[in-house]
Structure 1
Amino acid sequence: MVPIDIRPARKGDIPALAQVLGRAFHDDPVMSWVQPDVERRKAALPGFFGALTRHHFLAGRGSEVAVSEEGVGAAALWDPPGRWQQTPREQLAMLPAMLRACRGRLAVARTITDLMKEHHPEEPHWYLAIIGSDPIVRGGGFGRALMQSRLDRCDAEYAPAYLESSNPDNIPYYERFGFEVTGEIVLPDGGPSLWPMWRAPR
Protein backbone atom coordinates (compact mmCIF):
# COMPACT_ATOMS: atom_id res chain seq x y z
CA MET A 1 0.00 0.00 0.00
CA VAL A 2 1.34 3.44 -0.99
CA PRO A 3 1.85 5.78 2.02
CA ILE A 4 -0.86 8.48 1.93
CA ASP A 5 -0.67 11.82 3.70
CA ILE A 6 -3.92 13.70 4.37
CA ARG A 7 -3.56 17.45 4.84
CA PRO A 8 -5.48 20.69 4.27
CA ALA A 9 -5.46 21.92 0.68
CA ARG A 10 -3.27 24.94 0.04
CA LYS A 11 -3.30 27.55 -2.69
CA GLY A 12 -0.32 25.87 -4.31
CA ASP A 13 -2.26 22.60 -4.56
CA ILE A 14 -5.00 24.06 -6.76
CA PRO A 15 -3.51 23.22 -10.21
CA ALA A 16 -2.90 19.56 -9.29
CA LEU A 17 -6.16 19.28 -7.33
CA ALA A 18 -8.11 20.71 -10.28
CA GLN A 19 -6.56 18.25 -12.74
CA VAL A 20 -7.29 15.30 -10.43
CA LEU A 21 -10.94 16.29 -9.96
CA GLY A 22 -11.31 17.00 -13.68
CA ARG A 23 -10.21 13.44 -14.47
CA ALA A 24 -12.27 11.98 -11.62
CA PHE A 25 -15.51 13.59 -12.85
CA HIS A 26 -14.96 13.27 -16.58
CA ASP A 27 -17.46 10.39 -16.89
CA ASP A 28 -19.77 11.51 -14.07
CA PRO A 29 -23.43 11.18 -15.20
CA VAL A 30 -24.43 14.69 -14.12
CA MET A 31 -21.31 16.38 -15.51
CA SER A 32 -21.78 14.46 -18.77
CA TRP A 33 -25.38 15.66 -18.98
CA VAL A 34 -24.45 19.29 -18.29
CA GLN A 35 -21.70 19.21 -20.91
CA PRO A 36 -22.26 16.35 -23.39
CA ASP A 37 -19.33 17.38 -25.60
CA VAL A 38 -16.49 15.12 -24.43
CA GLU A 39 -13.63 17.39 -25.52
CA ARG A 40 -15.21 20.53 -24.08
CA ARG A 41 -15.82 18.71 -20.80
CA LYS A 42 -12.24 17.46 -20.65
CA ALA A 43 -10.86 20.94 -21.34
CA ALA A 44 -13.18 22.85 -18.99
CA LEU A 45 -13.55 20.69 -15.86
CA PRO A 46 -10.10 21.38 -14.33
CA GLY A 47 -10.70 25.13 -14.61
CA PHE A 48 -14.15 24.71 -13.08
CA PHE A 49 -12.87 22.78 -10.06
CA GLY A 50 -9.91 25.13 -9.72
CA ALA A 51 -12.21 28.16 -9.60
CA LEU A 52 -14.53 26.50 -7.06
CA THR A 53 -11.58 25.74 -4.80
CA ARG A 54 -9.83 29.10 -5.20
CA HIS A 55 -12.88 31.33 -4.80
CA HIS A 56 -15.01 29.37 -2.31
CA PHE A 57 -13.65 26.25 -0.64
CA LEU A 58 -10.18 27.42 0.46
CA ALA A 59 -11.66 30.20 2.59
CA GLY A 60 -13.86 27.71 4.45
CA ARG A 61 -10.83 25.60 5.37
CA GLY A 62 -12.69 22.36 4.79
CA SER A 63 -10.74 21.15 1.77
CA GLU A 64 -8.24 18.32 2.03
CA VAL A 65 -5.91 16.50 -0.32
CA ALA A 66 -4.55 12.96 -0.20
CA VAL A 67 -0.91 13.06 -1.22
CA SER A 68 1.63 10.35 -2.01
CA GLU A 69 5.17 10.56 -3.34
CA GLU A 70 3.62 11.02 -6.78
CA GLY A 71 1.71 14.13 -5.67
CA VAL A 72 -2.01 14.81 -5.18
CA GLY A 73 -3.99 11.61 -5.72
CA ALA A 74 -7.40 12.70 -4.47
CA ALA A 75 -9.21 15.73 -3.08
CA ALA A 76 -12.29 16.45 -0.97
CA LEU A 77 -14.04 19.82 -0.90
CA TRP A 78 -16.09 20.24 2.27
CA ASP A 79 -18.08 23.19 3.58
CA PRO A 80 -18.18 23.61 7.36
CA PRO A 81 -21.54 24.02 9.12
CA GLY A 82 -23.39 27.13 8.01
CA ARG A 83 -21.13 27.89 5.04
CA TRP A 84 -22.43 25.80 2.12
CA GLN A 85 -23.96 28.69 0.18
CA GLN A 86 -21.69 30.69 -2.11
CA THR A 87 -21.66 34.44 -1.68
CA PRO A 88 -22.54 36.74 -4.63
CA ARG A 89 -18.85 37.77 -4.78
CA GLU A 90 -17.74 34.13 -4.97
CA GLN A 91 -20.29 33.39 -7.70
CA LEU A 92 -19.08 36.36 -9.74
CA ALA A 93 -15.45 35.26 -9.42
CA MET A 94 -16.36 31.75 -10.56
CA LEU A 95 -18.57 32.83 -13.47
CA PRO A 96 -15.94 32.69 -16.28
CA ALA A 97 -15.00 29.09 -15.37
CA MET A 98 -18.69 28.18 -15.06
CA LEU A 99 -19.42 29.59 -18.51
CA ARG A 100 -16.58 27.59 -20.05
CA ALA A 101 -17.65 24.36 -18.35
CA CYS A 102 -21.35 24.79 -19.18
CA ARG A 103 -20.95 26.33 -22.63
CA GLY A 104 -24.39 26.43 -24.21
CA ARG A 105 -25.89 24.65 -21.17
CA LEU A 106 -25.84 27.32 -18.47
CA ALA A 107 -29.61 27.13 -17.92
CA VAL A 108 -29.28 23.39 -17.29
CA ALA A 109 -26.52 23.98 -14.72
CA ARG A 110 -28.64 26.65 -13.01
CA THR A 111 -31.58 24.23 -12.78
CA ILE A 112 -29.38 21.63 -11.08
CA THR A 113 -28.04 24.21 -8.63
CA ASP A 114 -31.55 25.41 -7.78
CA LEU A 115 -32.79 21.85 -7.18
CA MET A 116 -29.82 21.06 -4.95
CA LYS A 117 -30.46 24.21 -2.89
CA GLU A 118 -34.14 23.31 -2.60
CA HIS A 119 -33.32 19.89 -1.13
CA HIS A 120 -30.39 20.99 1.04
CA PRO A 121 -31.01 20.28 4.76
CA GLU A 122 -31.36 23.20 7.15
CA GLU A 123 -29.80 21.50 10.17
CA PRO A 124 -26.13 22.53 10.62
CA HIS A 125 -23.78 19.96 9.08
CA TRP A 126 -20.51 19.37 7.24
CA TYR A 127 -21.27 19.31 3.51
CA LEU A 128 -19.17 17.12 1.23
CA ALA A 129 -19.66 18.95 -2.04
CA ILE A 130 -17.00 17.12 -4.06
CA ILE A 131 -14.70 14.15 -3.55
CA GLY A 132 -12.70 12.43 -6.24
CA SER A 133 -9.63 10.30 -6.84
CA ASP A 134 -7.41 10.33 -9.88
CA PRO A 135 -8.46 7.27 -11.95
CA ILE A 136 -4.83 6.07 -11.97
CA VAL A 137 -4.85 5.63 -8.17
CA ARG A 138 -8.50 4.62 -7.73
CA GLY A 139 -8.80 1.67 -5.38
CA GLY A 140 -5.56 2.63 -3.63
CA GLY A 141 -7.23 3.96 -0.48
CA PHE A 142 -6.92 7.68 -1.26
CA GLY A 143 -10.66 8.41 -1.16
CA ARG A 144 -11.17 6.26 1.93
CA ALA A 145 -8.41 8.10 3.79
CA LEU A 146 -9.92 11.46 2.85
CA MET A 147 -13.41 10.45 3.94
CA GLN A 148 -12.23 9.04 7.24
CA SER A 149 -10.18 12.14 8.03
CA ARG A 150 -13.16 14.50 7.89
CA LEU A 151 -15.71 12.06 9.32
CA ASP A 152 -13.48 11.56 12.37
CA ARG A 153 -13.75 15.32 12.90
CA CYS A 154 -17.52 15.21 12.38
CA ASP A 155 -17.79 12.57 15.08
CA ALA A 156 -15.49 14.49 17.43
CA GLU A 157 -17.69 17.59 16.98
CA TYR A 158 -20.86 15.48 17.05
CA ALA A 159 -21.80 17.02 13.70
CA PRO A 160 -23.80 15.33 10.94
CA ALA A 161 -22.56 15.20 7.33
CA TYR A 162 -24.37 15.53 4.02
CA LEU A 163 -23.62 14.89 0.35
CA GLU A 164 -25.37 14.31 -2.96
CA SER A 165 -24.23 11.29 -4.95
CA SER A 166 -24.26 12.07 -8.67
CA ASN A 167 -23.49 8.46 -9.57
CA PRO A 168 -25.67 5.54 -8.39
CA ASP A 169 -22.61 3.26 -8.44
CA ASN A 170 -21.10 5.30 -5.58
CA ILE A 171 -24.05 4.93 -3.20
CA PRO A 172 -22.84 1.65 -1.61
CA TYR A 173 -19.41 3.23 -1.12
CA TYR A 174 -20.88 6.12 0.87
CA GLU A 175 -23.15 3.77 2.78
CA ARG A 176 -20.06 2.00 4.11
CA PHE A 177 -19.13 5.26 5.84
CA GLY A 178 -22.55 5.56 7.48
CA PHE A 179 -24.37 7.75 4.93
CA GLU A 180 -28.00 6.92 4.18
CA VAL A 181 -30.03 7.89 1.12
CA THR A 182 -32.77 10.35 2.08
CA GLY A 183 -34.42 10.91 -1.30
CA GLU A 184 -33.85 11.42 -5.01
CA ILE A 185 -33.40 14.64 -6.97
CA VAL A 186 -34.64 13.93 -10.50
CA LEU A 187 -33.23 16.33 -13.08
CA PRO A 188 -35.71 17.56 -15.72
CA ASP A 189 -35.94 16.70 -19.43
CA GLY A 190 -34.76 13.13 -19.03
CA GLY A 191 -31.67 14.02 -17.03
CA PRO A 192 -29.98 11.77 -14.46
CA SER A 193 -30.69 11.78 -10.72
CA LEU A 194 -28.81 12.94 -7.65
CA TRP A 195 -29.20 11.08 -4.36
CA PRO A 196 -29.06 13.15 -1.15
CA MET A 197 -27.31 11.24 1.63
CA TRP A 198 -27.15 12.06 5.36
CA ARG A 199 -24.82 10.74 8.02
CA ALA A 200 -25.57 11.09 11.73
CA PRO A 201 -22.49 11.49 13.94
CA ARG A 202 -21.16 8.44 15.75
Structure 2
Amino acid sequence: MATADVRPATRADIPALSVTLGKAFFDDPVMMWLLPDDDVRRRKLHKLFASITRYHHLSRGGVEVATGGQDIGAAALWDPPGEWKQTRAEELRAMPGLLLTFGSALGRGLAVTEMMKKAHPEEPHWYLAVIGSDPAVRGKGFGNALMRSRLDRCDAEYAPAYLESSKPENVPYYERFGFEVTGEFTLPDGGPPLIPMWRTPR
Protein backbone atom coordinates (compact mmCIF):
# COMPACT_ATOMS: atom_id res chain seq x y z
CA MET A 1 0.00 0.00 0.00
CA ALA A 2 1.08 3.55 -0.76
CA THR A 3 0.69 6.63 1.42
CA ALA A 4 -2.73 7.23 2.92
CA ASP A 5 -5.29 9.34 1.08
CA VAL A 6 -8.30 10.40 3.16
CA ARG A 7 -11.76 10.82 1.65
CA PRO A 8 -15.40 10.73 2.81
CA ALA A 9 -16.90 7.24 2.82
CA THR A 10 -19.81 6.30 0.58
CA ARG A 11 -22.41 3.57 0.94
CA ALA A 12 -20.42 1.46 -1.51
CA ASP A 13 -17.46 1.52 0.93
CA ILE A 14 -19.39 -0.11 3.79
CA PRO A 15 -18.46 -3.76 3.04
CA ALA A 16 -14.73 -2.99 2.75
CA LEU A 17 -14.51 -0.53 5.65
CA SER A 18 -16.41 -2.91 7.94
CA VAL A 19 -13.97 -5.73 7.14
CA THR A 20 -11.05 -3.37 7.88
CA LEU A 21 -12.59 -2.35 11.21
CA GLY A 22 -13.34 -5.99 12.05
CA LYS A 23 -9.62 -6.78 11.64
CA ALA A 24 -8.65 -3.65 13.58
CA PHE A 25 -10.82 -4.56 16.57
CA PHE A 26 -10.05 -8.29 16.61
CA ASP A 27 -7.76 -7.82 19.65
CA ASP A 28 -9.76 -5.02 21.26
CA PRO A 29 -10.36 -5.73 24.99
CA VAL A 30 -14.06 -4.83 24.85
CA MET A 31 -14.70 -6.94 21.75
CA MET A 32 -12.73 -9.85 23.26
CA TRP A 33 -14.85 -9.56 26.41
CA LEU A 34 -18.10 -9.52 24.40
CA LEU A 35 -16.99 -12.24 21.95
CA PRO A 36 -14.28 -14.31 23.65
CA ASP A 37 -14.13 -16.96 20.90
CA ASP A 38 -11.45 -15.92 18.37
CA ASP A 39 -13.14 -17.70 15.47
CA VAL A 40 -16.52 -16.12 16.20
CA ARG A 41 -14.92 -12.68 16.43
CA ARG A 42 -13.07 -13.22 13.16
CA ARG A 43 -16.27 -14.25 11.36
CA LYS A 44 -18.74 -11.80 12.86
CA LEU A 45 -17.15 -8.56 14.01
CA HIS A 46 -17.41 -6.87 10.60
CA LYS A 47 -21.22 -7.24 10.79
CA LEU A 48 -21.27 -4.87 13.79
CA PHE A 49 -19.35 -2.15 11.94
CA ALA A 50 -21.41 -2.59 8.78
CA SER A 51 -24.62 -2.19 10.76
CA ILE A 52 -23.67 0.90 12.78
CA THR A 53 -22.11 2.58 9.74
CA ARG A 54 -25.07 1.89 7.46
CA TYR A 55 -27.81 2.77 9.96
CA HIS A 56 -26.22 5.61 11.90
CA HIS A 57 -22.81 7.10 11.21
CA LEU A 58 -22.84 7.38 7.41
CA SER A 59 -25.94 9.57 7.33
CA ARG A 60 -24.25 12.05 9.72
CA GLY A 61 -21.54 12.81 7.17
CA GLY A 62 -18.56 12.12 9.43
CA VAL A 63 -17.33 8.76 8.14
CA GLU A 64 -13.92 8.86 6.45
CA VAL A 65 -11.62 6.22 5.01
CA ALA A 66 -7.89 6.22 4.40
CA THR A 67 -6.88 4.39 1.27
CA GLY A 68 -3.63 3.30 -0.27
CA GLY A 69 -4.29 2.47 -3.88
CA GLN A 70 -7.71 0.83 -4.08
CA ASP A 71 -7.75 -0.68 -0.60
CA ILE A 72 -9.28 0.83 2.54
CA GLY A 73 -6.50 0.67 5.09
CA ALA A 74 -8.31 2.48 7.90
CA ALA A 75 -11.66 4.04 8.73
CA ALA A 76 -13.03 6.54 11.24
CA LEU A 77 -16.67 6.89 12.29
CA TRP A 78 -17.25 10.45 13.52
CA ASP A 79 -20.54 12.11 14.48
CA PRO A 80 -20.94 15.90 14.21
CA PRO A 81 -21.87 18.07 17.21
CA GLY A 82 -25.29 17.18 18.60
CA GLU A 83 -25.71 14.08 16.41
CA TRP A 84 -24.07 11.24 18.34
CA LYS A 85 -27.31 9.77 19.68
CA GLN A 86 -29.04 7.10 17.63
CA THR A 87 -32.72 7.63 16.92
CA ARG A 88 -35.13 4.88 17.90
CA ALA A 89 -35.63 4.07 14.21
CA GLU A 90 -31.87 3.76 13.69
CA GLU A 91 -31.57 1.46 16.70
CA LEU A 92 -34.30 -0.78 15.31
CA ARG A 93 -32.75 -0.91 11.84
CA ALA A 94 -29.32 -1.74 13.31
CA MET A 95 -30.64 -4.47 15.63
CA PRO A 96 -30.52 -7.42 13.16
CA GLY A 97 -26.82 -6.74 12.52
CA LEU A 98 -26.14 -6.52 16.26
CA LEU A 99 -27.96 -9.80 16.84
CA LEU A 100 -25.96 -11.48 14.07
CA THR A 101 -22.76 -10.23 15.67
CA PHE A 102 -23.36 -10.79 19.37
CA GLY A 103 -26.05 -13.46 19.61
CA SER A 104 -26.56 -14.33 23.28
CA ALA A 105 -24.06 -11.59 24.29
CA LEU A 106 -26.33 -8.88 22.87
CA GLY A 107 -27.65 -7.90 26.33
CA ARG A 108 -24.12 -7.36 27.54
CA GLY A 109 -23.34 -5.28 24.44
CA LEU A 110 -26.39 -3.09 24.99
CA ALA A 111 -25.38 -2.60 28.64
CA VAL A 112 -22.01 -1.27 27.42
CA THR A 113 -23.81 1.13 25.09
CA GLU A 114 -25.98 2.42 27.95
CA MET A 115 -22.93 3.02 30.16
CA MET A 116 -21.26 4.95 27.35
CA LYS A 117 -24.39 7.06 26.83
CA LYS A 118 -24.57 7.98 30.53
CA ALA A 119 -20.91 9.08 30.56
CA HIS A 120 -21.19 11.04 27.31
CA PRO A 121 -20.60 14.82 27.64
CA GLU A 122 -23.53 17.16 27.01
CA GLU A 123 -21.46 19.98 25.52
CA PRO A 124 -21.60 19.95 21.67
CA HIS A 125 -18.57 18.19 20.15
CA TRP A 126 -17.35 15.96 17.35
CA TYR A 127 -17.55 12.35 18.58
CA LEU A 128 -15.02 9.78 17.40
CA ALA A 129 -17.06 6.61 17.89
CA VAL A 130 -14.65 4.26 16.10
CA ILE A 131 -11.23 4.47 14.46
CA GLY A 132 -9.15 1.53 13.32
CA SER A 133 -6.65 0.39 10.75
CA ASP A 134 -5.94 -2.96 9.16
CA PRO A 135 -3.03 -4.55 11.09
CA ALA A 136 -1.25 -4.91 7.72
CA VAL A 137 -0.86 -1.10 7.47
CA ARG A 138 -0.47 -0.23 11.15
CA GLY A 139 2.31 2.26 11.73
CA LYS A 140 2.15 3.57 8.14
CA GLY A 141 0.25 6.76 8.90
CA PHE A 142 -3.30 5.74 7.99
CA GLY A 143 -4.78 6.42 11.43
CA ASN A 144 -2.74 9.59 11.73
CA ALA A 145 -4.12 10.87 8.41
CA LEU A 146 -7.69 10.19 9.54
CA MET A 147 -7.19 11.90 12.91
CA ARG A 148 -5.57 14.97 11.33
CA SER A 149 -8.31 15.28 8.71
CA ARG A 150 -11.14 15.61 11.22
CA LEU A 151 -9.24 17.41 13.97
CA ASP A 152 -8.19 20.11 11.50
CA ARG A 153 -11.90 20.65 10.91
CA CYS A 154 -12.58 20.67 14.66
CA ASP A 155 -10.00 23.42 15.06
CA ALA A 156 -11.38 25.38 12.10
CA GLU A 157 -14.88 25.20 13.64
CA TYR A 158 -13.50 25.70 17.17
CA ALA A 159 -15.32 22.50 18.18
CA PRO A 160 -14.19 20.10 20.92
CA ALA A 161 -13.81 16.37 20.27
CA TYR A 162 -14.53 13.31 22.40
CA LEU A 163 -13.72 9.59 22.30
CA GLU A 164 -13.56 6.55 24.55
CA SER A 165 -10.33 4.54 24.40
CA SER A 166 -10.95 0.82 24.86
CA LYS A 167 -7.20 0.11 25.01
CA PRO A 168 -5.21 1.78 27.79
CA GLU A 169 -2.06 1.52 25.63
CA ASN A 170 -3.73 3.77 23.01
CA VAL A 171 -4.13 6.68 25.46
CA PRO A 172 -0.66 8.17 24.71
CA TYR A 173 -1.46 8.01 20.99
CA TYR A 174 -4.60 10.10 21.46
CA GLU A 175 -2.78 12.43 23.84
CA ARG A 176 -0.40 13.31 20.99
CA PHE A 177 -3.41 14.75 19.16
CA GLY A 178 -4.42 16.88 22.15
CA PHE A 179 -6.94 14.56 23.87
CA GLU A 180 -6.90 14.43 27.67
CA VAL A 181 -8.20 11.67 29.94
CA THR A 182 -11.34 12.78 31.80
CA GLY A 183 -11.96 9.64 33.87
CA GLU A 184 -12.43 5.90 33.58
CA PHE A 185 -15.34 3.51 33.88
CA THR A 186 -15.20 -0.27 34.14
CA LEU A 187 -17.66 -2.45 32.29
CA PRO A 188 -19.82 -4.81 34.40
CA ASP A 189 -19.25 -8.51 35.09
CA GLY A 190 -15.46 -8.26 35.16
CA GLY A 191 -15.27 -6.28 31.93
CA PRO A 192 -12.35 -4.07 30.88
CA PRO A 193 -12.10 -0.31 31.46
CA LEU A 194 -13.14 2.38 29.01
CA ILE A 195 -11.22 5.66 29.15
CA PRO A 196 -13.11 8.78 28.06
CA MET A 197 -10.97 11.52 26.51
CA TRP A 198 -11.75 15.13 25.60
CA ARG A 199 -9.96 17.51 23.25
CA THR A 200 -10.26 21.28 23.44
CA PRO A 201 -9.91 22.90 19.99
CA ARG A 202 -6.69 24.71 19.12
TM tier, smaller: over 0.9
Which residues of 2 match residues 110-149 of structure 1 at below 5 A?
Answer: 110-149=110-149
Segments ≥4 residues shifted beyond 2 Å: none
Partner of 2:185: 185
Moved more, 113-122 or 39-48: 39-48
Take 1:135 and 1:27, find their aligned partners in 2: how far apart are those partners? 10
Take 1:25 and 1:11, find their aligned partners in 2: how far apart are those partners? 21
Partner of 1:99: 99
The 8 Å contact of residues 35 and 103 in structure 1, kept in 2 or not, is answered as: no
Partner of 2:40: 40
TM-score if structure 1 supplies the norm length? 0.98
Partner of 1:169: 169
Report SS of the residue matched to 2:135: coil
Q: 1:27, CA displacement in angstroms?
A: 0.8
Report SS of the residue matched to 1:105: helix
Report SS of the residue matched to 1:39: helix
Moved more, 144-153 or 106-115: 106-115
Partner of 1:55: 55
Report SS of the residue matched to 2:191: coil
Moved more, 144-153 or 181-190: 181-190
Q: Could you list the runs of 5+ residues in structure 2 that have no partner in the other structure? A: none
Which amino acid is the alignment partner of residue 200 of structure 2? Answer: A
What is the total number of aligned residue pairs between the two structures? Answer: 202
Aligned-pair Cα RMSD in Å: 1.0
Take 2:130 and 2:110, find their aligned partners in 1: how far apart are those partners? 18
Report SS of the residue matched to 2:122: coil
TM-score if structure 2 supplies the norm length? 0.98
